[in-house]
Structure formats: structure tokens, C-alpha cells
Amino acid sequence: MSVHIRVVTPVIPTGLTEAAHFEGILGPDDCLDFVEIDKGPSSIECAFDEMLATADTVSKIIQAERAGVDAVVLDCMGDPGLRPGRETVSIPVLGPCQTAMNLACTLGHRFSLLAVTANMRIQFENQAKLYGAWDRYTSTRSVEIPVLDLCAQSDVLKEKLLDAAVCAITEDDADTLIIGCTGMVGLAVDLQTRLHEAGWSVPVIDPLPVAARLAKVLVESRLTHSKRAYPTPGKKLIRGYDGSALEAFNG
Amino acid sequence: MSVHIRVVTPVIPTGLTEAAHFEGILGPDDCLDFVEIDKGPSSIECAFDEMLATADTVSKIIQAERAGVDAVVLDCMGDPGLRPGRETVSIPVLGPCQTAMNLACTLGHRFSLLAVTANMRIQFENQAKLYGAWDRYTSTRSVEIPVLDLCAQSDVLKEKLLDAAVCAITEDDADTLIIGCTGMVGLAVDLQTRLHEAGWSVPVIDPLPVAARLAKVLVESRLTHSKRAYPTPGKKLIRGYDGSALEAFNG
Amino acid sequence: MSVHIRVVTPVIPTGLTEAAHFEGILGPDDCLDFVEIDKGPSSIECAFDEMLATADTVSKIIQAERAGVDAVVLDCMGDPGLRPGRETVSIPVLGPCQTAMNLACTLGHRFSLLAVTANMRIQFENQAKLYGAWDRYTSTRSVEIPVLDLCAQSDVLKEKLLDAAVCAITEDDADTLIIGCTGMVGLAVDLQTRLHEAGWSVPVIDPLPVAARLAKVLVESRLTHSKRAYPTPGKKLIRGYDGSALEAFNG
Amino acid sequence: MSVHIRVVTPVIPTGLTEAAHFEGILGPDDCLDFVEIDKGPSSIECAFDEMLATADTVSKIIQAERAGVDAVVLDCMGDPGLRPGRETVSIPVLGPCQTAMNLACTLGHRFSLLAVTANMRIQFENQAKLYGAWDRYTSTRSVEIPVLDLCAQSDVLKEKLLDAAVCAITEDDADTLIIGCTGMVGLAVDLQTRLHEAGWSVPVIDPLPVAARLAKVLVESRLTHSKRAYPTPGKKLIRGYDGSALEAFNG
Amino acid sequence: MSVHIRVVTPVIPTGLTEAAHFEGILGPDDCLDFVEIDKGPSSIECAFDEMLATADTVSKIIQAERAGVDAVVLDCMGDPGLRPGRETVSIPVLGPCQTAMNLACTLGHRFSLLAVTANMRIQFENQAKLYGAWDRYTSTRSVEIPVLDLCAQSDVLKEKLLDAAVCAITEDDADTLIIGCTGMVGLAVDLQTRLHEAGWSVPVIDPLPVAARLAKVLVESRLTHSKRAYPTPGKKLIRGYDGSALEAFNG
Amino acid sequence: MSVHIRVVTPVIPTGLTEAAHFEGILGPDDCLDFVEIDKGPSSIECAFDEMLATADTVSKIIQAERAGVDAVVLDCMGDPGLRPGRETVSIPVLGPCQTAMNLACTLGHRFSLLAVTANMRIQFENQAKLYGAWDRYTSTRSVEIPVLDLCAQSDVLKEKLLDAAVCAITEDDADTLIIGCTGMVGLAVDLQTRLHEAGWSVPVIDPLPVAARLAKVLVESRLTHSKRAYPTPGKKLIRGYDGSALEAFNG
């Protein structure tokens, strides 16, 4: 069964996200495309950035369903628009953070996040509480590199990721790791290998590819998020979103 | 000490909110004004509505600080914009739901929400988890009247509130109640009196007035939310918010 | 990428499990075979039954890895042998209960199990606590049909499943459901459809197929359970398991 | 609206508590007086001290209500007599520890106590569990100065408070602080300022003034503790409390 | 090994407590005596009653240690004086509620209390939280008979206990029961037998006898409560306890 | 009352366990004998070892009941066979880990385990969650000596136990300790004494003797585990356990 999954990248285009990031994640017959938003921030590093991105992200989710896409995957660990997005559509909408945290509960006993900066800790703690993963959440360690500098510093990034991972394992007793920013997509396998060579056999979850593959599993299994938990909004007077897909709920 | 507190009502003007709602809440020398948003929904009943309201709500919060207001109180139990709003300003920003839940922990042992509709339950459960009030959260009971019909049905509303309150007390063992929608502002004392007459001595919290008074306490006590928990965003490229106060963080 | 996943059915052959149950779960190029155990019970309905099955189940897991299988999926909601099995091999070993509970956390807010009999409740509560899914676990409802009678009573089973599901939704506020016995494999989609027709849009998870598909995702993602959480046992003197694959750890 | 709030200081007079401590906390038209107990310890630093103070503290609470006082605030972080006191009267009775812990949940994400001595840790942990604030309780740090020496060592106290605060922030990830003894009343603003100068923008809660101001808010809001959670005791034979207000319940 | 255990009954003498209640609990060579208090209430049914009893209860605990008693058991489910009592002595001090709740965690999966009146629920919930037994606490059911009427109504009491027990089992899914008042000492075996005859095989814990026997186990095992968790108070000025053993800490 | 308690040692005979270990634990009129298993591992240090031991351990439990033994105590901190064993018999079956953890909740505020090796941490965390002791579980510290080397290294063992204990107290704030392996039976009193001399007054629980004494208390109190929580298995076809007591459930 071939599927069409769409990645919604909740930042405005700056060249950071490329189709190449998503090649090979799904099968040769599947389609995994991506779309960036028109209105919002150039990166998401706090609740304010997330707020700027959410409305247009949900608009893209609605457009995806209209275009016949089978499922949507968000491209940010803040899972911006996850709840309103799920309310507005029936196709599966997956957040990489929620997916990775719940999967980490299946793979190990205590998981840690490897974040870009330390002030993501509170966001991840809040998400773990909301996603029912708090019992296993262990810690957040960071590389202290802003999202927009990740590419430029790709060399030091790998070293800092390794350092952060070893701290999580040896100081926090983590046994499962999650890459804490989808801007670091593709680095999990290398980190996992280097940790293994260093004597630490811990899985390192790359949230976006895992979420995309799980999205396909949901489609194959005829599953989606609970519409009872995320009921479709009724129409009401809305001002200020003319021309966007959100207008569908205006009336 | 006299203070200037601003209520930010996160819905577009429909005549529902009036200055009269806020008269007498603070002292004669204090100023308690309110502002509605320009872009957003006409009421907030789900995560989608909340999303529509958040950006302009935060814009109003930023404008309030610039105008020399001492503190801001949100006028919706979803506390829309609480986190991004606190990131963007230094003056206290209070959400009525968070304030009421934490106060309920001080007044009793188990608290319940009296909501407009049953599907608010999940939102309140999520908020209780995020606000550290989960241990005391007991249940959500509802009157099943949409926000925009509250005025029209004000008579039946009082009866349904009493019924919901009695259910929460007798079936869920609640001993403290919170009015679950700021559109029902002003009904708490009457409900508390009728419950008392019926033999139930339980406090009924009216979230908005309590939040406004607590906001004054914070100003008097030279306290605000922790900026370490809600750090100020750095500037970055933002598109689509020209002309709003949010532009202050564009660059 | 094609994978070879093996289902280990932790009961002795009685004709209950057929290859037909697993057809079409994976892709045409994948291999999904199954093996039953030689020593153990004819069904698993309590901790005693599970104990009888565990040793030979782990033996089959070890044999699967030796045979070059890519991943193992257990065929019982008790997840018998999950921990010792994961200790003995490096390939992914998935339990349908753990997989379904953690997935349920991703799809909804509160999940319930639909069990064969009421006395499975404590087992599911213990598993939810061990799997980090306790925050979302809501209830266990049952059809009161012993495992070995499921086939004979397949007609009433569908009705009783629907009744149990409606109870979980209306009385326990569940919004996500999990089929509580792999002996009921294949009934989820029908139940989901009937619930949808009755006005309840809740996902119904069929644990075994979902676990098999997630196993493929893990192989594709080069992920397995944390060997730091499930370290390989050292060799020591073992008596009584001559001729079984467990002997590999005798010495 | 002017109120009469009484501080009940649950220690015998030793000159430690002065009216000056309470000046300016409420408005010019309000009355905030205080009373010490006749029977009890000279300071409270353990459960034994608290026990010695409780009976006469409750007696003073009953007398306050009889005298027409609007609300009572306890003057000790052990909140001695909070539960029995609330049972015996209808006016609000606030404990500074409970009030501060629940307020800290509103202001930040993780709060720590700055205690006089380390052995207060267990008391604060127990209180956090009883007050529904356990999710946010982070740690207890101490200055290691006995209560009765606080005045004499006021200079080193400020330094030690700063050290303890920095430890809580940097080692325990606290973002909100609570002064852990009402004998340190008035030091919060100075500590908050010095932390701010050192780059830590965290609120420091001074429990007694905040509790007194919240008491006024409760009176203004016509709220008190839940009498359903704290029911009035019935009369029964009591021996040994002749001449105290507690005799009111003897019969 | 023979031991001397003292029961401290925290109420003034009214003829309710008799030596006969404690006969046969320990071995023929052991001594199990009891003492009532001189100052306090005639029964304990709320926090106010408990407060009245605590000081003299602790005085009796101190006297017991001085008299060479091996361990003390409190004779009230409120465990009055447990914390201050443990601070003041080194011999084991056991509360029947704490002992019964922790033992219930060993015997079953979910325990309920069978209380005298419904308003004990909050006290038991608080105790379960303080005693680390909250995960297993299930509910409080009551017979609605005041403590002082238990003897007079001994016939209906047995029927009401059975009714409360069946409610806890069938409506709350309890599988382990605790008699919720030491005034009902001796009724557990009969209730357990009647439940067994009715098809419910659940243990019914009689808190006082079990606490007395566990006290002997602690003495035999050379164990006592942690003095690190319950440190001995230092001396300080105390007023109002002349002539009581509490004076030992005055100075 | 004299009792007959049987210790079931879930390892094959290697000379490690001697009758001398159990002398003096119960009274002169009591019988405390022990039996080792015929099929299983020579020591238990992981879930795999535990699995190898469980079936024959349960067989010995069934035989004990048939032989008229009053209660069974398991001789391993993994409590192997506790759940299936309790299902198969009506006499009390106690696990030393569960007993010690629940008793630790009675004696102190935070308990730590002193384990043989660090990788026991996850097992103890899982047990604390299953036994309702998670709120008080603090940490696991280890001596890093394999079970089979404990005797040979008895001298260094005492030093390493003291070091591990001091770490648990000073670094983890533990105030109650549990010896983490029944192979270290008899070392608790010495450790407790040395800690006391070093200024740490913390109880050190020796799990097996405490469990044996509690087993006697249960018999004297006519209590056993809840059969409602551990219902007796029905008969069904079982293969591979010919000649063992487990055959009793075959049919």
C-alpha cells in the first residue's frame, strides 16, 4: 500500500529545509513531500515563536487534507498546531515530539532529550506531562547552538551532541535518547553508532523520520487521532484570517 | 497604592463584554480597563478558537506594557497567550484558569470546574497538569450552553449551574468549585449562596475578579511571573505580522 | 526495504492461531511468520499461565535472532518474556500491550482496554504502570468470554465488544480503545466502524498488527530496545533447560 | 473596602515579632494586627514545636472570629493549626506556606524553599504533598541559622540567603523561590533585587505579606476555605482546656 | 524474646477502652498494656479532636520510653502524635493507620478504608499521601455511626460494616480492606469470614492488633523509625506544659 | 502460637544458602525451614535469571501448602514467582523486596536500596512502581560484587556496604535503607551500628528475616494476600511440566 504523507514545516522558507532531508524515509512508491508556512518565524525556540507559526501551520494541515494527503507530520519538536490541527481534520496529524516520547517509552526505561538550548527544558517537561510520558521523562541536555546556526556549525554539533548524550547517560541515568530538534534530522544514526563504539548501547530516536513512518503505519492500520478527544470546531464569526484555509470555520 | 490592571478579552467585539462586568472589582483609586482583540474568533470553545485568538492577544499584552499598565489579566479560561505573553513582557500576566486552580488548592481539598460544555473537560485536564494542580483536580461538569448563548439563556443558566454544582459535590466529592467560563462572570456569589442554603458550604471561585485582585497583590508585592521560566524571545526574521506589536521581535 | 518479522505465539498449538491471521499485515516483499511454543499453557489468562509460557517463549526469541529474523513480536497482551527476551537478543522485541498503550497515548487523551475477562484489570494496571502509560490508562472493560471460547462465540463476541466499548466511552470517558487480547485479532476495524456509525469517533487499536508494523519501522529506523535498559545476561550455572536455546547462557 | 486581618504568631512572646513587621502590608484603611500565643514554644523548628503551639494557636483563631476579625493569617511556615483552625471558624484562615506554594505554581515552573535549617526539608515535602503542590516542588535549601539567631545574624543571613538561592537556581533548576521562615519576613525584595543584578530574574515570595494580601482578596471576593472540606466539629466531652476558647466545643 | 508494648489511647477515659481488647494479641510472655490520656477529647473524629489529644499523647509516649517500654502503638486511626512522638523518643512508635495502609500495599492491589463517618475521607486521603500509600488507596466507605455510639450499636454495626465492605469491593474495585477506626477493634475476622462466605476473598486488616504485632517484629529486628527522618528536638523555652513529660525539652 | 514458615530459595543448590542463615529468626517453638529449587539458575541478577527460576519456585510454593506449611517467604529480592505463586495457593506468600519496601514506608521518609550491582536499579524501580512504594523510593546504590562472590569477598563487602549507605544518605537524602540482596542476609545490624557510630541514625532493613517475621504476624492475624487480587487459575491444557506440582492445574 502506497501512501502520501506531507511534512508541514512550521517556519518560513530560509533554505534550511530541503527535500533531500526526507528522501528515503518512506518506500519508493510512497510520496513524502513538504511545505513551509507563509506567515510565521524563521525558527521556533520558544512559546512566542510557536504562537507565530501555529495559525498558518493549521492552515497547511487543512489544505493537505483537502489535497487528498493521507497524513500530516509536523516538522518541529514543539508540535505547533498539533491540537487545533487535529481538531480541524480527520487524517492523522503527528507531532515528532509526542511520537518520539511515546516510542521512547516502548524502547527503554528512562529517556532524555538532546535539545538545541537549555531553555527548551520547560517546554519538553510540559510536553511530557501533556503526552502521558512524564513517568519516563528523565532530563533535557543541550548543545547550546541556536537553530539557525545548526548548519553552519555542523562539525562542532556532532561533538556537542555526543557530549550531551554522554551526560544524559552517565549523570541522569538515561537509557534512551531523543534528538530534540528536527533541524538536526539525520544525525541520530551517527550518534547512536558513536555511542555504541563508546560502550553505550542506547537507541537514539530521530523524531521526524520515525513520525513519518508511524504515520504510514496509522494509514495502513486505518487509525487516526481520536476525534472524540479532538472534536471538529463548529462555525462561528472569525475575523482576520481572510484568504486562509482557516476561513472554512468562519460563519 | 493604586494600580492599573488591564483585562485582555481574547475575542472580537460582539457586545458580550461590557465595562460593567469589571466595575467594583478593584478599589476606587485603581483603574481596571479592558480591551478586545481585532483578529480572532467571537468566542473560544476549543483549541482551534484559542489558536485564532492567541497572536492578537499577545499583541494587546505587549501594548499594555508599553502603555504603562501594571499587570494584565486574560479574560478566558483557556488562558490563551499566557505562555507567549509572559515571555514578551515583564509585568504580571495572569490567566483566570491558572489563578483559580491554584487558589482552589488553597481553599479546599478537591475542586471541580463548571464548564459551558462537556468537551472542555480535556482542556481543563491538560491545564491542571500544566499548572501543577492535577492532584486536586476532581472533575468537569457542564451546563451545555454555548458561550454565545449564555446571555440569552441567563435564567436557565443559573438553574443549570446549580445542578452541575450539586453533581460535582455529591457525585464527584468536590468541595471547591470554579466557574468554568469568564462569560459567566458575576454568577459565583449567587451560586455560592444558593448552595449554602441547600446545605453545601463550598466556595465558588469567580476566576476573573479573583485574578484581577491577585494581579494587584502581585504589583503590591513587587512580584511577577518568573522570567527564568518565561525568558524573553530573541529577535529573528518574522513574516506576516506587519503593523502588530509582535513586530517588535522581528529582525 | 523488506523485513522478516516473526510472531512468537506463547501458547502450545491448539489450532487457534493460523497463518491467515497475519496475512496482509506487512508488505508483499516482507515475511511475517509465526511460531508457537512447545512447553506452556493452551491460553494465557493470569500470571500463572504467563509464567508457564515465558521460558519457552524466550527460547523462541533467541532462535529467531539466530535464524536472522529482523524483529520479534509477541502474540499475547501479557507481553510474556518481554523483559528477559530483550535481555537475551539485540533485535527488536515488541509486546503488543506495551506497543498499543504507548500508541494510544499518541492518538488520544484517555484509553481503555477491552479484555476477555474482568480479572485482567490488575494485569493491565500493572503493565500501564511499568510501561509509563499510567497517566492515560482509564479503565478495563471485558466481554467475559474465556480465550479458548472466542472462536466458538465469535458472533456474540462482536456484540459484547461493542457493549464494552460503549461502556468505556460513556461511563469512563475513554476516547481511545485497545483490543485486550490478541485472540481477538482482526476485530478492531469492524468495531471502529460500528462505533463511528453509532456516533463515537474513537480509534480502536488492534495490538498485534500495529506491533508488527511498528517492528518494521524500528528495523527501517535502525532502532531496537535499549540494551542499557535490558543488558545481556552473563553466563552462569543453569540446570533444567537442556536442549533449549536458553542453554546458551549456561556455563 | 477596608478589612481587619489578624496575624496569629504561634510562639510565645520573646520580642522577635514586632508590629513594625506588618506595617504597610495592607492599605491605610485596613487593620493588620497580630497576637502571640500564651502557651507554646519560643520558636517552631520541628513537629514537636509545632504540636506545642497548635492548641493555643487555634484558641487565638477562635477568639479572632469572635472579635469580628475578617480573616486570620498564621505566622509560621509550618502552618500550625491550619486544619483544626479552619474547622473551628468560618472566616478565612491562611497558612503562609500553603499560600506561597500555591502562588509559586502560578508564577513559575519549579519552586524551591529557602529554609533556616536542612531538617525542614521533610516538613516542606509533606506540606507540598498535602497542599497539591508536589508537582512543582523542587528542593529545599537552607541557611543553617536557627530561628532564634536570625536577628543576631542578620548580616550573614542575607549572604547565606543569596548563596542558598543561587544553589536552588543553578543546581536544582528552580525558577521561583519562597522564603522558608516567616522570621525572615521583609528580606524577599532585597534578595530578588540582588538575584536580578546577578542575572537571575526569579520571583522571591515573602509568604506572610502575600498571605495577608490574599486574605484581603478572599474577604473582598466573599470567599473562605471550604467548610465541606473543613467541617465544624460537634461538641463532645473535652478535658484540660478550661479557660481557653477551645472550651466552646466542650459538652 | 518477650517484649513490652504499650498502647497509648489518645482519648480521656470513658470506659470505651478495656484491657480485654488487647488480650491475646501478643504472646503469653509478652506484656501489652495500655494508657489513656488525661487531657484531650473523649473521641477523635476530626483534626480539632486530634489536636486536643496530641500533646498529652506525646507525653505518654515519652513516659513509656522512660519506663523501659520496648515500643508504643497509638490507638487511633488519625495516628495523633506520630510525628512529634517519633521525634521525642528512640523506641518504635507505630500508628495503626500508617501500619495498616503500608501492609495493605503488601497484601493486595487496591485498598479501601471502612470508616465511622464519611467526613473521615479527607483525613485518610491526606494520610495515604503522607504515608506513601496513595498509589493503592482506593476509597473510604463509612457506617455512619459516631465513635461514641459504636458499642451501643454493635449489632447494626456488623451489618453496616458488611454493606460498606461490599460497596468498596463491588463499586470501587477494592480487593483489600482496612477497618477505619480502632474503636471497631476485633471485628475484622468476623467481617472477613462473612465476606468469604459471600464469595469475596479479601483480607480485612484490624489495624491495632497488626500494629502491635509489627511493633514486636521491629523490636526483634532491632529496627525503629528513622531518627534522621524524625530528629530529636533541641531544648528551647516552652511555656504552658509544666508538670508534663514535655517539659523535658524546656530550657 | 507456633508457626511453620518455609523459605523458598529460588536458586539451585551451590552451598550458598545454609540453615544457619535462618536460625533464631523466629521463636523456639516455630519452624523456619528452607528449600532450594531443582531447575533454575545458580543466582538471580537479571530478568532472564528470574525467569529461569520462577516455574520451579512456584512448584515449591504449591508443595509447601500441600505439606501444611503456614506461609512461604521467597529468598530473592526479585520476588520471583510472587504473583503466580499467590495465585496458586491460599497461604501467605511474601516477597522480601515488597515487604521491605512497604515497611520502609512505615519507618522513614525516603528509602534507598543497597544492591549487588548497579544494573539492579531498573528492577527495583519497576518493583517500587508495582508495589505502591514509588513515592518513597529514593535511589539504588551498589557494592558492585556479583552474588556468587559475596561470600568470598565478605570483608570488602562490609566496607563497600558502608560506602554505598553513606552515599545514599548524603547524596540522595535517604533516611531508611534496605539491603538489596538476600545473599547479604545478616549484615544489616552491623551496618546499622556502624552508621549510628558515624552519626547516621537510619534503620537498615534485612529483608528476609523481616519477611519471615511478618509472615508469622499474618498467620497470627489470620491474614493472607487478597485472593481477589490473585485469583486461583482455572485448569487448562498444559504441556511440559510433567512431574512438577504445576501439573495440578493441567486438565
Contact C238 F41 (CB under 8 A): yes
Q: Pick from B1, B136, B221: which is nearest to D209 by CB?
A: B221
Contact A173 F125 (CB under 8 A): no
Q: Does A68 touch chain C (CB under 8 A)?
A: no
Most D CBs within 10 Å: which of E93, E149, E225, E239, as the mutation test of the D interface? E239
Per-residue model confidence (pLDDT) at position D151: 85
Q: DSSP readout, D123-146? A: HHHHHHHHTT-TTTEEEEEE----
Tell whether the model's pLDDT for residue E98 goes beyond 90.
yes
ipTM: 0.97
Query: In chain B, which residue's Cα lies nearest the Cα of A58?
Result: B48
Within 8 A of E52 by CB-CB distance, chain D residues are 55, 238, 240-241, 246
Residues near F23 by Cβ (< 8 Å), separated by ≥ 6?
none
In this complex, whether C and A touch, counting 3 or more CB pairs under 8 angstroms, is yes
**Backbone φ, ψ for residue F233 (5° rounding):** -65, 145
Q: Is C108 helix (H, G, I), strand (E, B) or coil?
A: coil
In this complex, whether C and D touch, counting 3 or more CB pairs under 8 angstroms, is no
Angle at D133 between CA D132 and CA D135, to 5 degrees: 110
Element (H, E) at E237: none
Grid coordinates standing for D22? 506588618
- Please check whether residue C64 is in contact with residue C92, taking contact to mean a CB–CB distance below 8 angstroms: no
Cross-strand partners of A73 = A7, A94
- Please check whether residue A35 is in contact with residue B71, taking contact to mean a CB–CB distance below 8 angstroms: no
Average pLDDT of chain F to the nearest whole number: 96
Q: Does A240 touch chain B (CB under 8 A)?
A: yes
Within 8 A of C84 by CB-CB distance, chain F residues are 46-48, 50-51
In this complex, whether E and A touch, counting 3 or more CB pairs under 8 angstroms, is no
Tell whether the model's pLDDT for residue C151 goes beyond 90.
no
The rounded Cα A163 to chain-centroid distance in angstroms is 23
| DSSP 8-class letter at A150 | T
Rounded to an integer, what distance in angstroms lies between the CA atom of residue D99 and that of residue D187? 18
CB atoms within 10 A of CB D230: 29
Question: Which is more confidently placed, E16 or F220?
Answer: F220
CA max distance for chain B:
60
Residue B133's closest CA among B177, B98, B95?
Answer: B98
Within 8 A of E202 by CB-CB distance, chain F residues are 226-228
Most B CBs within 10 Å: which of A16, A51, A131, as the mutation test of the B interface? A51
Q: Does E189 touch chain F (CB under 8 A)?
A: yes
Within 8 A of E59 by CB-CB distance, chain D residues are none
Residue D114's closest CA among D181, D175, D169?
Answer: D181
Rounded to an integer, what distance in angstroms lies between the CA atom of residue C10 and that of residue C18? 14
Q: Residue B249 carries which side chain, given as an amino acid letter?
A: F
Domains A4-95+209-243 and A97-207 share a fold: yes
* Per-window interface: B 122-141 vs C, CB < 8 A: 122, 125
| DSSP 8-class letter at D235 | P
Neighbors of chain F with 3 or more C-beta pairs under 8 Å: A, C, D, E
Q: Does E202 touch chain D (CB under 8 A)?
A: no
Alpha carbon dihedral E44, E45, E48, E49, in 10-degree steps, equals -20
F16 falls in which pLDDT band (50, 70, 90)? confident
pLDDT (mean) for F115-122: 95
Q: Does B196 touch chain E (CB under 8 A)?
A: no
Within 8 A of B122 by CB-CB distance, chain C residues are 109
Alpha carbon dihedral D236, D239, D243, D249, in 10-degree steps, equals -10
Tell whether the model's pLDDT for residue A16 goes beyond 90.
no
**Backbone φ, ψ for residue D77 (5° rounding):** -70, -10
User: How far is residue D216 from each of residues B208, D70, E144, F122, measured CA to CA in Å?
Assistant: 16, 8, 38, 50
Q: Is B68 left (phi over 0), alpha (psi -120 to 50) or beta?
A: left
Q: Does A109 touch chain C (CB under 8 A)?
A: yes
Alpha carbon dihedral D17, D20, D26, D29, in 10-degree steps, equals 120
Residue D178's closest CA among D131, D226, D229?
Answer: D131
Q: Does E240 touch chain D (CB under 8 A)?
A: yes
Q: Does D109 touch chain A (CB under 8 A)?
A: yes
Which parts of chain B sit beneath pLDDT 70? none
pLDDT (mean) for A106-110: 98
Average pLDDT of chain D to the nearest whole number: 96
Residues near E202 by Cβ (< 8 Å), separated by ≥ 6?
E108, E165, E169, E174, E175, E176, E177, E192, E195, F226, F227, F228
Q: Does C51 touch chain F (CB under 8 A)?
A: yes
Rounded to an integer, what distance in angstroms lies between the CA atom of residue A214 and that of residue A208? 10
Contact D214 B210 (CB under 8 A): no
Per-residue model confidence (pLDDT) at position B236: 96
Neighbors of chain E with 3 or more C-beta pairs under 8 Å: B, C, D, F
Neighbors of chain D with 3 or more C-beta pairs under 8 Å: A, B, E, F
Angle at A73 between CA A69 and CA A74, to 5 degrees: 130
Within 8 A of C173 by CB-CB distance, chain B residues are 121
Per-residue model confidence (pLDDT) at position F179: 98
Rounded to an integer, what distance in angstroms lies between the CA atom of residue C111 and that of residue C13? 32
pLDDT (mean) for C198-212: 98
CB atoms within 10 A of CB C197: 8
Angle at F249 between CA C82 and CA C139, to 5 degrees: 50
Residues near B106 by Cβ (< 8 Å), separated by ≥ 6?
D94, D98, D99, D102, D131, D214, D225
Task: Please name the fold of domain C4-95+209-243.
Answer: Rossmann fold (3.40.50)
CB atoms within 10 A of CB E194: 17
Rounded to an integer, what distance in angstroms lies between the CA atom of residue C104 and that of residue C177? 8
Contact E213 F217 (CB under 8 A): yes
Strand B93-94: give its sheet, edge to edge.
Answer: B31-36, B4-9, B71-74, B93-94
Q: Does B109 touch chain E (CB under 8 A)?
A: yes
Shortest Cα distance from C136 to chain B (angstroms)? 11
Q: Is the domain B97-207 a CATH 3.40.50.12500 member?
A: yes
Q: Does B170 touch chain E (CB under 8 A)?
A: no
pLDDT (mean) for E45-66: 98
The rounded Cα D148 to chain-centroid distance in angstroms is 17
Q: Does E83 touch chain B (CB under 8 A)?
A: no
CB atoms within 10 A of CB F211: 30
Within 8 A of C51 by CB-CB distance, chain F residues are 54-55, 58, 81, 84
The distance in angstroms from the start CA to the end CA of chain A is 39
E90 falls in which pLDDT band (50, 70, 90)? very high
Tell whether the model's pLDDT for residue A187 goes beyond 90.
yes
Rounded to an integer, what distance in angstroms lies between the CA atom of residue C90 and that of residue E62? 60
Q: Write out pLDDT tens, residues D139-197.
A: 999 999 988 899 888 889 999 999 999 999 999 999 999 999 999 999 999 999 999 99
Q: Write out pLDDT tens, residues C19-65.
A: 888 999 999 999 999 999 999 999 999 999 999 999 999 999 999 99
Angle at D64 between CA D62 and CA D69, to 5 degrees: 135
- Please check whether residue E209 is in contact with residue F221, taking contact to mean a CB–CB distance below 8 angstroms: yes
Cross-strand partners of E160 = none
Rounded to an integer, what distance in angstroms lies between the CA atom of residue E40 and that of residue E12? 6
Q: Write out pLDDT tens, residues C127-147.
A: 999 999 999 999 999 999 988
pLDDT (mean) for A14-32: 92
Shortest Cα distance from F212 to chain A (angstroms)? 32
| DSSP 8-class letter at D244 | S
Shortest Cα distance from E225 to chain D (angstroms)? 14
Rounded to an integer, what distance in angstroms lies between the CA atom of residue A232 and that of residue A87? 5
- 3-state SS track over D153-188: CHHHHHHHHHHHHHHHHHHHCCCEEEECCHHHCCCH
Per-residue model confidence (pLDDT) at position F154: 86
Q: Does B201 touch chain D (CB under 8 A)?
A: yes
Shortest Cα distance from F25 to chain D (angstroms)? 33
What's the count of helices (H) and strands (E) in chain D, helices before strands? 7, 10
Rounded to an integer, what distance in angstroms lies between the CA atom of residue E31 and that of residue E27? 8
Shortest Cα distance from B109 to chain E (angstroms)? 7
Rounded to an integer, what distance in angstroms lies between the CA atom of residue D234 and that of residue E44? 11
Instruction: Please list the helix, strand and coil fractions of chain D in percent, rounded to the nearest 5, in that order.
Output: 45, 15, 40
Within 8 A of F106 by CB-CB distance, chain E residues are 94, 98-99, 102, 131, 214, 225
Tell whether the model's pLDDT for residue C16 goes beyond 90.
no
Query: In chain D, which residue's Cα lies nearest the Cα of A125?
Result: D109
List chain E domain ranges: 4-95+209-243, 97-207
- Please check whether residue E205 is in contact with residue E177, taking contact to mean a CB–CB distance below 8 angstroms: yes
Tell whether the model's pLDDT for residue F67 goes beyond 90.
yes
Rounded to an integer, what distance in angstroms lies between the CA atom of residue E115 and that of residue E128? 14
Shortest Cα distance from C171 to chain E (angstroms)? 13
Shortest Cα distance from F59 to chain C (angstroms)? 11
Tell whether the model's pLDDT for residue A15 goes beyond 90.
no
Per-residue model confidence (pLDDT) at position E16: 84
Most B CBs within 10 Å: which of D106, D110, D204, D232, as the mutation test of the B interface? D106
Residue % of chain F over a pLDDT of 70: 100
Q: Write out pLDDT tens, residues B191-239.
A: 999 999 999 999 999 999 999 999 999 999 999 999 999 999 999 999 9
Residue with cell 468469604: E196
E151 falls in which pLDDT band (50, 70, 90)? confident
Q: Does E121 touch chain B (CB under 8 A)?
A: yes
Residue % of chain A over a pLDDT of 70: 100
User: How far is residue D210 from each of residues D213, D214, E152, measured CA to CA in Å?
Assistant: 5, 6, 50
Q: Is C240 left (phi over 0), alpha (psi -120 to 50) or beta?
A: left
Grid coordinates standing for F24? 533464631
Rounded to an integer, what distance in angstroms lies between the CA atom of residue D65 and that of residue F95? 54
D-to-F residue pairs, Cβ atoms closer than 8 angstroms: 3
